[in-house]
Amino acid sequence: MYRITKAEMLTDITALMVVEAPRVAKYCNPGQFIIVKLDEKGERIPLTICDYDREAGTVTIVFQAVGASTKKMLELKAGDAFHDFVGPLGCPSELIEKPVDELKKMKICFIAGGVGVAPVYPQVKWMKEHGVDVDVIIGARTKELVIMEEEMKAVAGNLYVTTDDGSYGRSGMVTKVLEDLYAEGKKYDQCVCIGPVIMMKFVCLLTKKLELPTIVSMNPIMVDGTGMCGACRLTVGGKVKFACVDGPEFDGHLVDFDESMKRQQMYKTEEGRAMLKLKEGDTMHGGCGHCE
């Protein structure tokens, strides 16, 4: 069992939890994810790691209630426990693999939409700890849905907050903020964008015009987290990839977002999964290596 030491509601439907998981905390890095299960028969839920404390042996997760299992998770309090807390899974952020001296010479912009702020935070925090200043753009639909602003402010070089309805910070979507920054003379060497798939698509359309290399996290499309279910199958640069075992981060300019979003809709129904099996054959669930 993995005890919850802190449970905090960030919005009406978004929660932050700190979980005792010493082995996960010891080995995890920004960009990776874990899988939680409420009980022995519970649903497997992949969640990107929001923070970790190796000394305390804890891992922080942030999640939004979108289904029955995550709604049940909202009811958990400090002192309760998860039956399973497995990880770290997936590949760490490619940026933390670069030499720090090289990172310090780069102008990096992180763009986070909605709950995507959670997986962006550990990367920005890592940058701060290694003396690398980065800019961060946070986007949400309304003021009430802006999360972790103060935490991000403490680690970002510059923080820009925007809301779709203009109720807080700047007005408009994250793409507008990036366009405005470029109009003001800002230039970046690298962009990291994490959030809803549709948001990442439009950010990548813009950054391609700006000739700005962009990394995206396809964590939102994961279901099983091991490559066996095939839910997170996608095409990157014309090749079949699986977000959970090959990612979750990819070159955003190579991701076929339209195919991915259409596939996600089909995958939700039994008939759709049958059609995908007919069309994709063994590659539908090949991320685990089973098809080899």
Domain boundaries, the chain: 2-89, 98-217, 222-241+257-292
Residues contacting residue 34 through CB under 8 Å, at least 6 positions apart: 21, 24, 28, 46, 47, 49, 59, 61, 85, 86, 87, 88, 89
Can you give the pLDDT at residue 292? 42
Average pLDDT over residues 56-64: 93
Cα(60)–Cα(71) distance, integer angstroms: 18
Average pLDDT over residues 124-143: 94
Architecture of domain 98-217: 3-Layer(aba) Sandwich (3.40)
Helix ranges (H only) for the chain are 22-27, 68-73, 100-104, 117-129, 149-155, 174-183, 197-209, 243-246, 257-267, 270-280
Fold of 2-89: Elongation Factor Tu (Ef-tu); domain 3 (2.40.30)
Average pLDDT over residues 179-186: 93
Q: Is the pLDDT of residue 12 over 90?
A: no
Stated pTM of the model: 0.85
Q: Worst-scoring range by mean pLDDT, 35-49, 173-187, 196-210?
A: 35-49
